[in-house]
Amino acid sequence: MKYGFLNCLGSIKRARNIDNCIALKLTEIGVHTISDLRVLGAVEAYLRIRERFSERIIRKSYYLFCLEGAILNINWHDLSINRKRELLEQVYWYQ
């Protein structure tokens, strides 16, 4: 299994790259498990967080990369430059 059974069903609070602040925001938008995040995807999750918490400054790159890293179960620093660029372009497309 690519992601691992326990990791897939685990609480979003235990996901790689997800600190308490991001976990609380994900919970607010209905993302409770890593599986929920995978279904939604990093870009859509980021857009929902940004919409829900519009009064706060949401650091686009940090959130996007942390969410994608959590989905892939890798440190966000290990995302390729191309993947980071793709994520940012997708968010830009929706603005």
Segment holding 35, helix H or strand E: helix 34-40
Asked if residue 64 has pLDDT above 90, the reply is yes
Q: Which pLDDT score, from 0 to 100, does residue 59 have?
A: 80
Q: Which pLDDT score, from 0 to 100, does residue 75 have?
A: 96
What pTM does this model have? 0.85
Per-residue b/e over 47-86, b at no fewer than 16 CB within 10 Å?
bbbbeeeeeeebeeeebbbbbbbbbbeeebeebeeeeeee
The SS3 of residue 71 is helix
Label residue 95 by pLDDT band (50, 70, 90): low
What pLDDT digit, counting tens, does each position of 2-60 carry? Answer: 444 444 446 898 899 999 999 999 999 999 999 999 999 999 999 999 999 987 777 88
